[in-house]
Each structure stands twice: as structure tokens, then as C-alpha cells.
Structure 1
Amino acid sequence: MTQRPDQSFALPTLTAMVVGSMVGAGIFSLPQTFGRVTGGLGALIAWAIAGGGMLMLAFVFQTLSRRKPELDAGVYAYARAGFGAYPGFLSALGYWTVCCLGNVSYWVLVKSTLGALFPVFGDGNTVAAVAVSSVGVWIVHMLILRGVRQAAAMNTVVTVAKIIPILIFIALVALAFDPEIFAASFRGGPGLEGQGLAAQVRGTMLVTVFVFVGIEGASVYSRYARRRADVGIATLFGFLAVLCLLVSVTLLSYGVLPRAELAGLRNPSMAGVLQAVVGRWGAVFVSLGLLISVLGAYLSWSLLSAEVLFSAAKAGSMPRFLAGENRNGVPAAALWLSNGLVQLFLILTLFAEEAFLLALKLTSSMILLPYLLVAAYGLKLALGGERARPGERRRRRDIVVAGLATLYTAGLVYAGGLSFLLLSAVLYAPGTALFILSQRERGTRMFTRAEAVLFALICLAAAAALHGLWSGRITL
């Protein structure tokens, strides 16, 4: 597709895409989600591991954007280039599902927030909550159909607006920070006596993945970049800015309320923390900030979900109908399918007791394969998978960075646990029908031998997950 000049994105817009994608609902729930499983020490270790691992992944995205400027829609394109059509498709499918699940979590948390004022919304998974959320889904859908650039410009404005309440929260909580309260919960405190430090840290891993999802925002939209070099710069700048916000919100909260009280807060738990500092208006202030934040993140993820389907369809890994654009240059068919899946997931939240946590953990599980394939592709290139190699010193650096990123993402698969890994197969297995359809459309071979084995393993994992759900061994 020939890029229209009026649709190109400069560095600030690309950076806003990264920050807007990463800063959504998750940051507003960090005090409670961390407080449930660990104390201050475990949180410090968790952020050191997650921050270091994701920094390596950010460097991989930066390197790949420099070495492979012809590859658009990064997450999908890198997996396909490195490992073939079907793994590339799985990466696209997983990433697309992540976008849709992330949008569902935003609506659930918004309605949970409003539920404090309007009980009819409950914890965000009542019939009224789903009905109102559904209206919001289709309003944003119609906005995006008017043009990608217009939606991206609104995302930039909203990104700036939603960072301001978070910075004010950090400043006020820092002033109220009590070292004695922080010290009492440093190793976990009451309620976590039987949990070792390693178990506490492991319990945070899927949470940290969830709040970092979006680091690839600039890479996915690389075809819109005014300068390809800006893609890597935007990824790095956006990541470092968001990391500072995440660590500050988490650790400062341990100095305001004991860990057990943090664990019992209603989401968005940042509201409860600020209320403990300044009174009722603090909860209202955070709730308003969350609504602004979710609007920006929802716009970003809606754009990303359609873009990854569109790019995969253009490359032949998705059915042709998903490559269609409307007169405004928006991948309309991909957007309709994406929001259709969001609508389906919203209805399913009616049957989940803790809909937000379920969406969070499924989102984190589904993103692991795309991230692992990106890191592994970076390692493959660094080890000399192609003739064009960088200088020897840079090559050694790339091997170390990509190796650490691969080790980190592979470790996340283990930390996530078997249950959610199997549940992700329930989505990958039937989703492969889109790949089969695309291969038939183009008259190409369905699977290579290795890909057929991979598909069989995914089907077995999906069957095991369904049996686990039926028997009660896996619960939602």
C-alpha cells in the first residue's frame, strides 16, 4: 500500500502511541494487584526483573526497526520473517486477541469504577455494565472509521491528559509516604507468612507483562512513520517513561497503607490509596483520571488490533477480506472483526466472577508467544542468520541483548503457569481456521511438516484446557 503523506506520524505521535498503549487500566490497579501477592521487597525485585527484561525487548525492537526497515507491523512481520508463515500467523492472532482482551479489561474496570457510585454496574460484569460498554465500543468504532490520523491525533491529546493525574497522584503520595508502614510490609507481612520471596515475585509476573503490553505500539505502526529511525527511538523513550510511572505508583503505595489493606482495595485501587491521603476527593480524582486514561488506551488498542490483522492479510497470512480499506484509509473489515470479538468477550464477562483479573491474565498469556518470537528473531539475526551482519562489537551486543530478551520471555511462559498457557491454546486452535482459509485462497501449501506438528500440539493443549474447564481443574 502506498502511504499517504497526510497519514504519516512524527516522533511525538509515535511515542504517544507507545505511552498511550501501555498506560491504560493496569496502572490504576497496581496497588491492589501487587498487594495481593507480595510486599515491597518482592515488588522491587519484580520490577527489576520485568524492567530489565522489557528493556532488552525494547532494544530488540529498536534494533529490528533499524536492520529490517522494510518489515511493517513489527510483532507479526518479525515472527513471519524469522520462523515462517504459520508461526507468523500465530503471532498475529495472539497479538490481535491481546488487543481485544485489553479493550475488554478497560471497559470492565471503567464500569467497576462507576459501580462505586452506581451499584447497577457492580464490579463491571453486570448486564447493565455490559450494555453500556457495548454502546461505547461501537461509538469509538465509528470514530476510527473516519480516519486513522484523526484517531491518532486524539490519542496524543488524551495521552498527555491522562499522564497528569498520575503525576499528581505520585507527588501527593510521596509527600504522605511513611517509612514505618513501608517497612512493615517490606517482606510481605501478615497473610503472606507461608509465601517465600520467589513465590511472591512469580505471582507478579503476569501483572507486569499486562502493564508493559503496548511497548511495540510504534513498531506495529511503522508503516506510518515519517522516518523509520523514529520507530526505535519512540519505543525506547515510551518504555522508560512508563517504567518510571509504574514503579513509583507501586512502591509509594506500600508507604501509605499496609499490604493487607492494599490487597483488599476495590479497583481502581489507586483511588483507595489517594483517598487515604487526601480524603474522598482523591478517589474521585483518580476515577476521573482512569476514565481519561482508558479512553486513550482504548483508542490505541483499537487502532493496533485492526492494523495487525490488516498487515497479516496484506502479507497473505490472513483472509483477503481483512486487507480492505475504506475511503479514509482505515482497514474497516479488520476493525469490524476486532470489535465483534470485543463484543463477544464482553458478553462472556457476565459468567466470570473476577472479570478484570481474568482478562488481565489471559491478555498476559496471549502476548507471550508474540514477544518470544520477536526476541528469538532478534537473536537469530544477531547470531548470523543472514549474510548482512553488523560490526563485531555491535554483533556481540545484539547477541547479549536478544539472548536476555529471549530468556526473559521464555521465563514468562513458565511464570504464567500451565493453566493460562492451556487456555491460550483454546483461542489459538480455532483461530487457525483463518490461516487455513488464507492458504486456500492463495492455493499454497497448508502447513509444512513442522507447522503441522505445531498445530497438532496446539489442538492437544486446547483439548486439555477444555477438559480441565469441564472437570473443574481449571477455573475462570
Structure 2
Amino acid sequence: MGQQRQLGLWALMAAIIGSVIGGAAFNLPKDMASAANSGAVMIAWLITGAGMVMLALVFQNLTLRKSELTGGIYSYARAGFGAFIGFNSAWGYWIASILGLVSFIPLLFSTLNYFYPIFGEGNNLPSLLGGTLFVWAFHFLVMRGVKEAAFVNFITTIGKLMPIFIFIIFLVFAFHRGIFFTDFWGNGSFSWTLIMKQVKDSMLVTLWAFVGIEGAVVLSGRAKRHRDVGTATVFGLLGTLLVYMLISILSLGVLSREQLQALPEPSMAYVLAKIVGPWGAVLINVGLIISIAGAMLSWILLTIEIPYVAAQDGMFPRSFMRENRKNTPIVSLWWTSLITEAFVIIVHFSASTYQAVYSMASVAVLIPYLLSTLYQLKLVKTGETYLNDKDKVRDGLIGFLAALYSCWLLYAAGLDYLLMVSSLYLAGFVLYIPMQLSRKRKLFKGQDWLVALTISGAGIAAIGMILTGNLSP
């Protein structure tokens, strides 16, 4: 049975806001302060805002010019660069989304520890058991139908935004210019070398804050009106960008950078408690629990869609196309939940933190982002879908800036995370190679060999370094 077009503009915007504003917003004061001083934080948000606007415009443009490609990020990579690259985009986005789901678990239970002090930092045994319960509770909720899950997500999106808006209002009144401008650039004086290092160190934080902005694109096949996809993407981005900038910048005018760095998670709760007292921490912690619940639901909806669409193109096993009577991609959902559970267990035994898991998710999703920008550049070069040079020049510039931003983020991520993520991409070969052989297709064509050798070399090196203790997941 094909996809049913059930989602309107507001549901698509809720899918974006629900997946973008998850746990990241509630820990932004600490995460940004840990990476940069006030001046560098502002520069980081300007770069991130400009880069993400370019990415959103790429997604908007591609949905309009290639409306037949309803698989979003995966479809763009496959249409532009062939089956192998398309498979890697689908696999990478799927694994990145699963890691995103997993990252919510330690943050959720470290938050619950505020009310029930048995969960520690969110990676002990009670957290593992609770995380397992959450994974499967959401599994059975999504089984009831994508439309029904999207409605629940819409309600939780409203619930999560209310404490954030209250937090911002109190920050405005508590903001002190003296605190904000103390050691504005760091190290007592302005230095481009220091500033760029701080900006670079904050890039994975700001990227993670926006992962999910492509949510409407991924769900485009279920949109009632295709034009709503681009609109939801752009307005969802601008709204979340404003919220994020206010949270992180205003917090630096309430507590010093050193004080913010020392806060427990979620840091937003303790900033508000400093202003209004203990009830502020209670409000934010309750808001975060609602937020994570909504974000997990949004992420599951996005995560199960990619294998479903990839299976329709023969890139994933045909079984992934199977839906239940509620039109939920049921095989994709089961595999997503099982792999999520496996990663939850790995995180528990490796004692990985929320920051470590979301950093891996951010790097893994960068490859599909970059491939989407390169596809736009390819369309501009070939002139496909273009009727005049003015549009080509505009979209070429947007695509170039978006690609440049994506490459900058890969550089900012650092070699360790790139190696760890390459091992996850290498794992996809276990699915790709048998499937291609069973259908008597060539494994690699042309430049595919170079890509395959790069992934293999980096992935094998990463696995060796992990086993010898020289690389920590």
C-alpha cells in the first residue's frame, strides 16, 4: 500500500520543531558556554544561522524542482550520484537518526534524577531499564499510525515550547550587561586564533541543535500539499534559530561562563532556578521531559521513513515496504526499535554521555546533508529544471554556501568523530553487498570504488583503534 497524504502544514512544522527542539535546547546554556565566550557564541550562531538557512533553502528548492523525489535526503543522493551513494545516504541518515533517539535516553533520565535520585547521569542500570521501556512504549504508539502519532507530537510540541518561552521572558529581565561583556572574547583580549577555535569547538553543539530541520522533507511523501514542505522547513528553521540564540546568549548575561560550565544537566533548569528559585528548576525539568517525549516521537517518525522509501527503490530489502493496517512502515519500525535498543545497551556499558552520542549523530547526518547540497549544484550545472540563468546563479550560490558550511562542519567535528562514524557507514556494507549480489547487480560503478575504499579504510582503522583503546565511542 502506498503512502497516504495525511500531514498538513501545521503537522509538518510540528514535525520539524518537535525533532529540532528536543533535548539540545534545554542544555544550550552549558553546552555553548563550555565551548566559547560571549563574543564567540554570537559569531557561532551567525555562522550556524547563515549555514542552516542555506541548507533549508536547498531543501526547499529541491522539493519544488524535484517534487517526484518523495524520500527527501536519500532520494536526492540517489538521483544525483547513483545507487551506492544513495544507499549510503539512506543508511547514514537512518543510523544518525537512531543515534539521535539514543542520545535522548541519558538526558531524559539525568533529568528524572532531579525528582527521583536513582538515575545518576542517565547511564546507570535504572536508566537502561527505563530507556528500554521508553523505546518500546514509543514503538507501540507509532504502530497505531503515523497520523495519530503526528497529532500527539503536535500536542507535545506546544507543551515543550511553553516553559522555553517562560525561561526566555525571565532571562530578558534578569540579563546584566556587565556579566555578558566580562571577558567578552576570552583570555582578556581579542584574538582571531582564539575566537575561531572557540567557534570551531561550538559547531557540533549548534549543528545538533538543528538536526531534524529536514523533517518535512523526509515526510514529504505524506504531505497533503507539496508546497507546504518548503514553507514548513524555512519557517521552522527561522523560529528555532531565534529561540536558540535567545537561550544561549541571554544566559551568558545571567551567569558567568565558568558558572554555566559547572551546572548539572539540564543547565536551563538551574539558570532559571538562579533567577526565580527552585520552582524554576521544576518547571524546566518537567518541560524537558515533555520535550524529549515529543522529540523521540518526531525522530521515530523520521527514522522509519527513510528505509521505507529506500526499499521502494530497491536499495533496502523489499520487506521494509510492508505497512500495517494503520499505514505505518511496520518492518522499518521494528528494525529501528531493535537497533535503537542495541545502541542503548552499548551506551550503558560504555558509559557514553549525552554529548558524545549526539556528536556522533551530528557527524553521521552531515554526509546526507552534504550530498543534498551537491545535488543542487549538479542540477545548476546541467541546467535540469531551470528555464533562465538568473535562477541558476541564485541557486548555485545557495548550494555552494550550503556545501561550504557542510564541509566546515566536517572539519570542525575532528578526526576522532569522523573515524567513529566511518565504522558505522562500513557496517552498512553488511546489508548492501548481499542485497546487490542477490539481485545480480554490480556492487560499485566508477567513483563508487573510491568511496567504498575510503569508507572501508577509515572504518577498519576506527574499529582497530576502538579495540585497542585508542578511540573511545
Give the TM-score taking structure 1 as reference length.
0.96
Q: Tell me how far apart the structure 2 counterparts of residues 106 and 354 of structure 1 sit (CA, whole Å).
A: 12
Q: Tell me how far apart the structure 2 counterparts of residues 134 and 271 of structure 1 sit (CA, whole Å).
A: 25
Residue correspondence of structure 1 range 66-85 to structure 2 within 5 A: 66-85=64-83
Aligned residue among 163, 166, 171 for 1:165: 163
| 1:266 partner letter | P
Deviations 1:372-428 (A, max 9, x none): 000110111122253x31322111110110110011101111111111001001111
| 1:309 partner letter | P
Aligned residue among 36, 39, 49 for 2:37: 39
| 2:81 partner letter | F
- Residue 367 of structure 1 corresponds to which residue in structure 2? 365
- Residue 442 of structure 2 corresponds to which residue in structure 1? 445
Distance 1:3 1:461, change over 3 A: closer
- Residue 267 of structure 1 corresponds to which residue in structure 2? 265
- Residue 178 of structure 2 corresponds to which residue in structure 1? 180
Maintained 8 Å contact 1:319/1:435: no
| 1:265 partner letter | L
SS in 1 for 2:345: helix
Residue correspondence of structure 1 range 36-435 to structure 2 within 5 A: 36-188=34-186, 196-384=194-382, 386=384, 388-435=385-432
- Residue 469 of structure 1 corresponds to which residue in structure 2? 466
Task: Quote how far apart the aligned CAs of 1:189 are.
Answer: 5.6
Q: Tell me how far apart the structure 2 counterparts of residues 147 and 308 of structure 1 sit (CA, whole Å).
A: 16
**RMSD of equivalent CA atoms:** 1.8
Maintained 8 Å contact 1:82/1:380: yes
| 2:368 partner letter | P
Deviations 1:438-459 (A, max 9, x none): 3234332222142133112111
Q: Tell me how far apart the structure 2 counterparts of residues 294 and 11 of structure 1 sit (CA, whole Å).
A: 22
Deviations 1:54-112 (A, max 9, x none): 10000000100100000012010001001111111111111111111111111110101
| 1:448 partner letter | K
| Identity value in percent | 41
Q: Tell me how far apart the structure 2 counterparts of residues 24 and 170 of structure 1 sit (CA, whole Å).
A: 16
Q: Tell me how far apart the structure 1 counterparts of residues 139 and 67 of structure 2 sit (CA, whole Å).
A: 30
Maintained 8 Å contact 1:266/1:272: yes
| 1:11 partner letter | L
Equivalent pairs, count: 473
Q: Tell me how far apart the structure 1 counterparts of residues 388 and 10 of structure 2 sit (CA, whole Å).
A: 30
Q: Tell me how far apart the structure 1 counterparts of residues 3 and 426 of structure 2 sit (CA, whole Å).
A: 34
Q: Tell me how far apart the structure 2 counterparts of residues 466 and 202 of structure 1 sit (CA, whole Å).
A: 26
Q: Tell me how far apart the structure 2 counterparts of residues 193 and 446 of structure 1 sit (CA, whole Å).
A: 50
| 1:95 partner letter | Y
Q: Tell me how far apart the structure 2 counterparts of residues 282 and 156 of structure 1 sit (CA, whole Å).
A: 24
| 1:432 partner letter | F
Distance 1:194 1:67, change over 3 A: closer
Q: Tell me how far apart the structure 2 counterparts of residues 69 and 462 of structure 1 sit (CA, whole Å).
A: 35
Task: Quote how far apart the aligned CAs of 1:248 are.
Answer: 0.5
Maintained 8 Å contact 2:383/2:392: no
Q: Tell me how far apart the structure 1 counterparts of residues 387 and 261 of structure 2 sit (CA, whole Å).
A: 49
- Residue 18 of structure 1 corresponds to which residue in structure 2? 16
| 1:137 partner letter | V
Distance 1:432 1:219, change over 3 A: same
Give the TM-score taking structure 2 as reference length.
0.97
| 1:401 partner letter | I
Deviations 1:348-391 (A, max 9, x none): 112334420111110111011000000110111122253x3132
Q: Any gaps of 5 or more consecutive residues in structure 1? A: none
Q: Tell me how far apart the structure 2 counterparts of residues 195 and 393 of structure 1 sit (CA, whole Å).
A: 38
Task: Quote how far apart the aligned CAs of 1:193 are.
Answer: 10
